[in-house]
Amino acid sequence: MPQITDISYARQLDREDPLANYRDKFHFGEKDLVYLDGNSLGRLPIQTKERVNQVLEQEWGNRLIRGWNEGWMGMSARIGAKIAHLVGAREDEVLVCDATSINLFKLTMAALNYRKDKYRIISDELNFPSDLYVLKGIVDLLGAPYEFEEVKSNDAQGIDPESIRTALNDKTALLSFSHTSFKSSFVQDMKAITELAHEYDAMILWDLSHSVGSVPVELNACNADLAVGCTYKYLNGGPGSPAFLYVRKDLQEKLQQPVQGWLGSETPFEFGTEYKPASGITRFQVGTPPILSLSAIEPGLDLQLEAGMHALREKSLRQTEYMIALFDSWLAPLDFSLGSPRNPAFRGSHVAIQHPQAAEITEALIRGDRGGTRVIPDFRQPDNIRLGIAPIYNSFEDIFLGIQRIREITEKIG
């Protein structure tokens, strides 16, 4: 039996992998590149080239404006319905539109307007900066008595639910957290924290950007109120592909969309001067959807649905475990520390490793110095190298080669 530090061990795991064939469904421009950044920008699905080309030539090129009535108008909801299956929501609770930050703004304003009796927003210091900027910006915009509280982490990796409980009181209107933390990969207990929010009669808004497509999410089963997330990471929707939002069914008619655009109105093509919101999730639409980018989301999404969230999570867990085992053998002795939880129940699909020379090591990995394997991870201040594993296309061999290369480079630098 080979050792975990033998490449034959990785190859054996790849032969046993029931999802291994999905790798062939993605574009590999540089054959030897080890891409460990699918949690920032996913790879291009081969089918997406065909789909986008079809939209360009046949739909835009030939059908021109008739395209709007031949599928474009309903595309945001139709693709949203597919995403719903990945996040445990009803098909009519998810809409694809705008950027994640914009959707966060829309839903936060809608929640605060709905809970006018309360004025506190709670998030945590590990949340994605854009989320914190948007939430704090809203508090500035609305002025007193609105206030923002940032729960602190005890270990710079995760957030203790008890710290969240301490921050809550009867004036808390909204809690907003990332389900999976962008830096450490820490996964919050959605059910427990949603229950905690509801215990205090507060609403909750989850950012699913680092979960969707890699960590199972059960929005309905957790009774979550609101959520947002992006499609260009594990969903492989392409650079800047539009984000999604989720609003629980019973809240849709109660919430007021703060950006009252024509495509969120009841009858946009009557061109009336008074805004009346559309019913259902459509009211959270604002303006004309970016059809080319939207259409690029669907082929990757179909692959995720076909592979199945359960199988993807199972593979992702095996892969992060394998990566951590290699880390322990090869990198821990080189002054690296693990920046992600060891407990798999609290870990998403990337592994953060920390080193005082992390920036220098990342640059050398990307340059592929001295003919060595070129590896693309990403770097997050001050000392984190994030190694993203997209279970739909990353192999165990990718993980082996990536960690082996980090060891080689660190030995040279150090």
* Residues that are catalytic: 128, 207, 232-233, 386
Nearer to ligand PLP, 103 or 194 (CB): 103
CB of 130 to ligand PLP, least distance (A): 5
Nearer to ligand PLP, 205 or 409 (CB): 205
- Is 395 buried (19+), middle (13-18) or exposed (0-12) by CB count in 10 A? buried
Nearer to ligand PLP, 209 or 410 (CB): 209
265 binds ligand PLP (CB under 6 A): no
List CB contacts of 265: < 8 A, sequence separation 6 or more. 275, 276, 277, 278, 283
Nearer to ligand PLP, 99 or 338 (CB): 99
CB of 318 to ligand PLP, least distance (A): 24
Nearest Cα residue to 394 out of 376, 369, 371: 376
From CA 38, how far away is CA 389, in angstroms rounded?
Answer: 6
350 bridge partner residues: 388
Nearest Cα residue to 227 out of 361, 80, 373, 119: 80
101 binds ligand PLP (CB under 6 A): yes
CA dist list (Å): 30 to 34, 101, 327, 347, 376: 9, 32, 25, 30, 12
Q: Which of 82, 120, 210, 407 lies at the binding interface for ligand PLP (CB under 6 A)?
A: 210
Look at the alpha carbons of 18, 19, 24, 29 in this order and tell me if their dihedral is positive or negative: negative
- Which stretch, 166-174, 202-210, 336-344, 354-362, contacts ligand PLP (CB under 6 A)? 202-210
From CA 53, how far away is CA 60, in angstroms rounded?
Answer: 10
Nearer to ligand PLP, 107 or 243 (CB): 243
CB contact at 8 A, 91 and 281: no
Q: In what order do the strands lie in the sheet with 244-247?
A: 94-96, 244-247, 226-229, 203-207, 172-178, 120-124, 147-151
Q: Which of 48, 172, 209, 293 lies at the binding interface for ligand PLP (CB under 6 A)?
A: 209
CB of 91 to ligand PLP, least distance (A): 22
CB of 289 to ligand PLP, least distance (A): 15
384 binds ligand PLP (CB under 6 A): no
Nearer to ligand PLP, 100 or 252 (CB): 100
The DSSP code sequence of 95-141 is EE-S-HHHHHHHHHHHHHHHTTT--EEEEETTS-HHHHHHHHHHHHH
Q: Which of 230, 286, 294, 323 lies at the binding interface for ligand PLP (CB under 6 A)?
A: 230
Q: How many residues bind ligand PLP (CB under 6 A)?
A: 13
243 binds ligand PLP (CB under 6 A): yes
293 binds ligand PLP (CB under 6 A): no
Task: Name residues contacting ligand PLP, limited to 179-198 (CB under 6 A).
Answer: 182
Question: Which residues of the chain form contacts with ligand PLP (CB under 6 A)?
Answer: 99-101, 128, 130-131, 178, 182, 207, 209-210, 230, 243
